[in-house]
Each structure stands twice: as C-alpha cells, then as structure tokens.
Chain A
C-alpha cells in the first residue's frame, strides 16, 4: 500500500472498520513508514482525547423544571394548532349567518336610500359659508336640485358643500382646481 492509500483508510483503521486483509496491509505499512506512523499516532490521540471528555449532568431539580417548561410550551403550541371544537364550530356558523344577514340588510337599505336619494335629492344652494348636508330618506331640503344632470351643476354644489351619502348614490364628486380656488363656472 502507498502512503496515500493508507492515509485514506487510516480513520477507518482506527475504528476497526477495514477488512482483515486491509488491516494487515496497513499495519505492515505503518511498521515501515515513520510519517504514516506519526499520522496514525496523532489521529489516535485526537480520537482518544475526544472520547475522554464527559459531561457532568444537571441535577434532578433542573430536569423537573425543564420538563414543566417543555410541557407548558407544548401546551401553548397545541392551543395554537388545536382543531376548533364542534360546539365552537356551530357557534361560529351561527355568527357567520347572522353577519351575512346583517350585511344583506345594510346592502338593501343602501340601495333603497340610493335610489330614493336620486329621486328626492335636494340640496341647499351653495352660499359663501360651507354647510354640512346630511342626506337621508326623511330629509328633503327642496326640489330645486332634485337630480344632477350635468357636471356643471355638481361643481356648483360641491363648491361649498360636504356631501355625506351612501356610496354610489350621488356619483363621484371631483373638486376641480378652479372651484377650489373660488372661481365658479
């Protein structure tokens, strides 16, 4: 065997994990080669040194505390991933149905308000001081501006009004620069 071949097998040789034939060849080589013998001796020292260490174990009190901590942490993790109980599922389903029903009521109301507003909408004419106009089914400010037909009218109105109404009922108001600066069209 060459030094390279022996070097590649030296670690396994230390662990008695080579064939009998390989072991005999390595031994013969080591008897003749001082360099490989030194390498073998060093590796053996490293392995023995590694194996000579021992860890002194913590006392029983430590293990008891650790066990409690692990069980506590595991229980917390379990709570996060625990499947939802059947009773909670039923409760959750009822809540979902009720939420859906409430949403529908709101949606229908909004549509009614919107359609009614489009026919009943009346806004006080713009004056110099801004006014807050709240629109509702009951509120009818007048009939002069019942509906919006042209953007021009919208500009006139929005110049000094803040409009609060269900989304979509009044269309989208955009305040152009010339209005915000005070000039009217």
Chain B
C-alpha cells in the first residue's frame, strides 16, 4: 500500500531519500503546471521545479512544524516564480527571449518538450491572455492563475501567500478586471 503524504514527509524528515523521491513524483506535475502558467515557458517552469525541490530538501527540518506540506511546497514555488518574474523585469529579458528562439533551438533547450501552447484550441486568444497576464503585478497574476487556471480555492491561496482571504478576493477581482480591460484593448486593435 502506498504511503500517505504525512507518512512520506515524516520519512523524508528522517532522512529517507526514497520518500523524498516519491514526494517529488507526486507533486512535480502540480508545480510544473503552476510555474508554466505563471512564467509562460518550459525553461523557467523547469527551473522552478528543480529549485523548489532542492529548497524543500535543504529546509526539511522545518517540515516538522509544517501542517500542510502541499501549501509549504507551493509557497516555495510561487515565491521563486515571483523572484524570476522580478528578475525578468529588471533584466528586461522576458520569457519571449526563449519563446522567440528558433523552434529547433528552443526544443533542444527544453530537452525536446513540445510547446504547451500548441495544445490550446484557440492559440491566439491564449497568447493574448498570456501577454495580458504578464502585465499584471506578480501577486495578482499568480492569484488569477492559481484560482482560475489551476483551480485552487481562495482559502488555499491565502495560506500560500500567508494573507487574509479578503486580500485574495480583492486581488482576484482586480486581476480579472484588469485582464478584461487589457484583452478588450488588445482585441479591439485587431
């Protein structure tokens, strides 16, 4: 019978490498998809996955006091994603840099992973949404993605950001309104 998350976490704190590997397997998709939605490209999502689990490994002693492993993990992933967004802004090397690379090079860099946007039914609209999301401040962007894209509840997001639920509600409302405005402007131009 497979172990539960608390059991795996306990084994991991005790130094069980297999438990760590199993936790990785159970959460990697969740972290990857969230990071991809936030950052918009495979290379950054890959970076977030790696860094999140390395940080968890280094900080495993803290897990003794952590009630929800998942929340702790996602908090690390979102904080690191915010760092990347800020770095990207300050270095003016946007995600576009990697997505604008010639297809073959990007595929090589991404270890031969197909571009996820290719799977969207309406690629153009999704591209507009991605660009519109990039115009939002990190916390509003992540709140909108976590809630509307990834399906997290407001309570879960509040735990991740360690803020009141009312703040999440407000951020979500502002994010949606801004997205609506940005999308309308963009689509009206065409």
Contacts and interface: CB of A to CB of B under 8 A. Distances in A.
B80 to A, nearest CB: 14
Interface residues of B, number: 48
B50 A53 contact: no
Contact of A65 (B111, B126, B173): B111
A42 B180 contact: yes
A55 B53 contact: no
Given A47-B176, A53-B120, A77 B54 contact: yes
B113 A49 contact: no
Interface residues of A, number: 36
Contacts, number: 106
Interface of B: 17, 20-21, 24-25, 28-29, 32-33, 36-37, 42, 46, 49-50, 53-54, 57-58, 111-114, 116, 118-122, 125-126, 129, 144-145, 147-149, 151, 154, 169, 172-173, 176-177, 179-180, 183-184
A11 B116 contact: no
A70 B24 contact: yes
B116 A55 contact: yes
Interface stretch (A56-64, A128-136, A138-146, A165-173): A56-64
Contacts of A8: 173
B57 A11 contact: no
Contacts of A56: 114, 116, 118-119
Interface string A52-87: 111111110111011101110110011001000000
Contacts of A50: 129, 144-145, 148-149, 179
Given A11-B169, A42-B184, A67 B24 contact: yes
B50 A46 contact: no
Contacts of A59: 112-113
